[in-house]
Amino acid sequence: MQSKINKVTPYAVLSISLILTSGMAINGTLPLIKDQLSLTQTQSELLGTIPSLTVFIFVLLSNVLIKKMGMKRLVLFGLLLVALGGVLPVLFPNSYYLILISRLILGAGLGCYNSSSVNYINELFEGKQRMQLLGMRNSMESIGQMLLTFVSGFLLLLGWRYSYLIYLTAIPIAILFYLFVPDVKKDNMTEKEEFRPTWLPIVSVLFASIMVMNSIAIAVRFPGLAVDIMGSTYNTSFFLGLMPVLGILSGFLFQSITSKIGHRILYLAVFINMIANLLVAIGDKSFILLVIGLLISSIPVAWVLPFLFNHIEVIAKGISTRLLTSFIFLGCNIGVLIAPMLMSLFAFIGQTDDLYFPFYVFTVMFLLLLGVLFGVLNHLSKENKSI
């Protein structure tokens, strides 16, 4: 069936982003899995981030797979893998390694169409509608994360393994996508995929990676911090579900804010990240401060990624825009994957087992990043490059 663009098409394209960040929606189950299977803190947190390993691999392979399968078929295949890998823990709740494998399958599915969620918008739409959809795409990730986290928390009352039934939502999304989204014709995919990057694409990928890494670090550590303050039976899913709310609003406001302050939105994003980390770092003194830090941490990524994707043609020098989109997603998923390991490294260097300590390090890191960002954008303005 060959669909044509109609009024439903933009929403069907956006729908696939609803589960792109669903790997984190089951974070509320991690303390329970840790207790049941006698895991370490890092082992349990790895279940939340390990899907990024196969996301990374399949994003890297996605351009090759698109040429062989077509973009639409690859998206549908990815959604089916999400459904399959996502629900396997329901069947194998007592094996850490089988749960780990299921998370890898989930990541493979997400990686199949990760970059296509942006490429479809860039291929099918243009102008103001394109900019709006890029901002909305990021909000759809947050909406999906919020809804799936709430549902996961509700199912947690039945037992932690039932929380993984949320991944069955990939099936109706696949049906909607199949019915209302056209495949991208091969003559629209003839952009030469060169790889002669200048410093700007590399810096952009690193910037996206750092921002996403920190957001995930806060999300994946929050259940452990909340349990530390409120007790071992405390259900963190409610606040994890609320986390994306400000990110959703920020994504929908992206176009209007950017039209007023331009690239300065990046300064604001990094500053908010710095404050979020500081609040989490001192969260042991007040649960309210910890929650505020969690909630505002969803804002920066909702601005940084749409900004980069909307300026992809300006940033991509010596590399195709489609390839750069994939590399940005690769950087993001590396950030997700290393988040718990980086926190462990900070704790090792600081010779402490304090769960709050890494966020003091992150606070200083983002203060330095703010200065670096100011220098980079100043340099670009002197070269008369608009970004």
For the stretch 190-231, pLDDT in tens is: 455 555 667 888 899 999 999 999 998 998 899 889 888 888
Q: Of 9-18, 78-87, 119-128, 210-219, where does mean pLDDT reach its minimum?
A: 119-128
Question: At 1, is the pLDDT very low, low, confident or very high (cuts 50, 70, 90)?
Answer: very low
Give the tens place of pLDDT for each residue, 51-80: 878 988 898 898 889 889 999 999 999 999
Closest CA to 109 of 193, 49, 182, 167: 167
What DSSP character marks residue 187? G
Average pLDDT over residues 357-370: 95
Distance (Å, rounded) from C-alpha 243 to C-alpha 254? 18
Distance (Å, rounded) from C-alpha 75 to C-alpha 62? 10
Return the percent helix, strand and coil in the chain, to nearest 5.
80, 0, 20
Distance (Å, rounded) from C-alpha 161 to C-alpha 289? 30
Distance (Å, rounded) from C-alpha 340 to C-alpha 384? 40
User: Please, how many CA atoms are within 13 Å of residue 272, restricted to the half-sphere of its CB?
Assistant: 23
> By three-state DSSP, how is residue 195 classified?
strand
In the chain, % of residues over pLDDT 70? 94
Average pLDDT over residues 106-111: 94
Distance (Å, rounded) from C-alpha 204 to C-alpha 222? 27
CA distances from 309 to 18, 134, 160, 306, 333 (A): 18, 7, 37, 5, 16
CB 222 within 8 A of CB 290: yes
The pLDDT, as a whole number, for residue 385 is 59
Question: At 183, is the pLDDT very low, low, confident or very high (cuts 50, 70, 90)?
Answer: confident
The pLDDT, as a whole number, for residue 78 is 96
Handedness of CA 263, 330, 147, 154 (dihedral sign): negative
The pLDDT, as a whole number, for residue 52 is 78
Q: Of 1-10, 44-53, 181-190, 231-240, where does mean pLDDT reach its minimum?
A: 181-190
Distance (Å, rounded) from C-alpha 140 to C-alpha 143? 5
Amino acid at 54: T
The widest CA-to-CA distance across the chain, in whole angstroms, is 60
- Structure tokens given for 277: 């980390």
Q: Return the H-helix or E-strand segment holding 191.
A: none
> By three-state DSSP, how is residue 384 classified?
coil
Q: What is the dihedral of CA 387, 385, 324, 266, to 10 degrees?
A: -30
Q: What is the dihedral of CA 142, 148, 153, 154, to 10 degrees?
A: 130
Question: At 383, is the pLDDT very low, low, confident or very high (cuts 50, 70, 90)?
Answer: low
Handedness of CA 242, 298, 72, 126 (dihedral sign): positive
Please state, rounded to an integer, the average pLDDT across all residues of the chain.
Answer: 87
Does the structure show a pLDDT above 80 at 337? no
The pLDDT, as a whole number, for residue 195 is 54
Average pLDDT over residues 369-383: 83
The pLDDT, as a whole number, for residue 384 is 57
The pLDDT, as a whole number, for residue 364 is 96
> By three-state DSSP, how is residue 319 classified?
strand
Q: Of 89-93, 288-292, 313-317, where does mean pLDDT reach its minimum?
A: 313-317
Distance (Å, rounded) from C-alpha 27 to C-alpha 250? 23
- Structure tokens given for 107: 């990541």
| Angle 302-177-168 from CA coordinates, rounded to 5° | 80
| Angle 195-121-209 from CA coordinates, rounded to 5° | 50
Does the structure show a pLDDT above 70 at 181? yes
Give the tens place of pLDDT for each residue, 24-34: 788 888 889 98
Residue 272: other Cβ atoms inside 10 A: 19
CB 226 within 8 A of CB 234: yes
pTM for the full predicted model: 0.76
The pLDDT, as a whole number, for residue 263 is 86
Question: At 234, is the pLDDT very low, low, confident or very high (cuts 50, 70, 90)?
Answer: confident
Does the structure show a pLDDT above 80 at 240? no
Identify the CATH assignment for 9-382 out of 1.10.260.40, 1.20.1250.20, 3.40.50.300, 1.10.4160.10: 1.20.1250.20
Does the structure show a pLDDT above 50 at 270? yes
Distance (Å, rounded) from C-alpha 366 to C-alpha 274? 5
Does the structure show a pLDDT above 60 at 296? yes
The residues that bridge with 195 in the sheet, in sequence order, are 319
User: Which one is predicted more confidently, 237 or 374?
Assistant: 374
The pLDDT, as a whole number, for residue 22 is 85
What are the boundaries of each domain within the chain? 9-382
